[in-house]
Amino acid sequence: MNIIKVKDQAEGGKKAFELIQSAMKERNAKVLGLATGSSPITMYEEMVKSDVDFSDMVAINLDEYVGLSETDSQSYRVFMNENLFNKKPFKNSYVPNGMAKNAEEECERYDSIIEENPIDLQILGIGTNGHIGFNEPGTPFDSLTRKVDLVESTIESNKRFFEKKEDVPTQAYSMGIGSIMKAKEIVLVAYGESKVNALKGMIEGEMTEDCPASALQKHPNVTVIADEAALAGLSSL
């Protein structure tokens, strides 16, 4: 894994956007896999500020909460619209449908979208427990899109975005680790001391389903952009 140490999240956002631009220029990247959470926000700010045109590009998001509609202010669809798509239109932007009546059909639909639009560059954040997307510890490395149960620590970390903990959905649709691994390039952003153990497990730990992000050790093109606090647990840097 290539590790880029940045001084703060603002610099991290710039670096991540530079990698997107290189992929667009050098590899003619047309499909971006995108992530929610607070970590990629500065990258979206850079994209919005730039004069880069994304209108012939496709965006495929990692996940969505089950039970939240695409107009619910807490949904990942609204997060993406507000932080990026409303300001920088893409040709198509896909987010799982949290209100789908039939979960199995929704997962198949989403997997077909990923199949038809191979991801050139996938942006990831990381959960404090090492999850990527909403692939919690124990997720098979070859998994596809599924309806998942969120673990207590994820609900606890994500409650900051909701009025109260009881409002945090307990399930989500998530792109699988198998699909994430098929992306040609992966850029993972992580900041702050709460991510120390997750990054240590991902980069230096054993490759195990207990740390979903450790699957990335097998991927040939991963860049981790992180600040000093998040990288503090690494023995070599």
The active-site residue out of 129, 135, 158, 185 is 129
Residue that the structure tokens 């620590």 belong to: 153
Residue closer to ligand GLP (CB basis): 75 or 158: 158
- Residue 55 C-beta: closest distance to ligand GLP, Å: 25
- β strands within the chain, DSSP E: 2-6, 31-34, 58-61, 63-65, 92-94, 121-124, 146-149, 171-174, 185-190, 222-227
Residue closer to ligand GLP (CB basis): 125 or 178: 125
Give the separation between CA 84 and CA 42, rounded to whole angstroms: 11
Residue closer to ligand GLP (CB basis): 133 or 141: 133
Among this protein's residues, is 116 annotated catalytic? no
Cβ contacts of 117 within 8 Å, gap of 6 or more: 31, 58, 60
- Residue 8 C-beta: closest distance to ligand GLP, Å: 14
Residue closer to ligand GLP (CB basis): 35 or 226: 35
- Residue 62 C-beta: closest distance to ligand GLP, Å: 5
Among this protein's residues, is 131 annotated catalytic? yes
Closest CA to 110 of 97, 123, 99: 97
Give the separation between CA 66 and CA 20, rounded to whole angstroms: 29
Report the DSSP pairing between strands 2-6 and 185-190. Answer: unpaired
The active-site residue out of 45, 46, 61, 63 is 63
Instruction: Quote the crossing angle between the two packed helices 9-27 and 41-49, to the nearest 10°.
Output: 60
Note the maximum CA span of the chain: 48
- Residue 192 C-beta: closest distance to ligand GLP, Å: 8
What the block records as the tokens of 210 is: 């207990």
Closest CA to 60 of 135, 120, 134: 120
Residue closer to ligand GLP (CB basis): 98 or 127: 127
Among this protein's residues, is 135 annotated catalytic? no
Among this protein's residues, is 56 annotated catalytic? no
- Residue 81 C-beta: closest distance to ligand GLP, Å: 17
- Residues engaged in binding ligand GLP (CB under 6 A): 35-39, 62-63, 125-127, 133-134, 154, 158
- Which residues have a catalytic role annotated? 63, 129, 131, 136
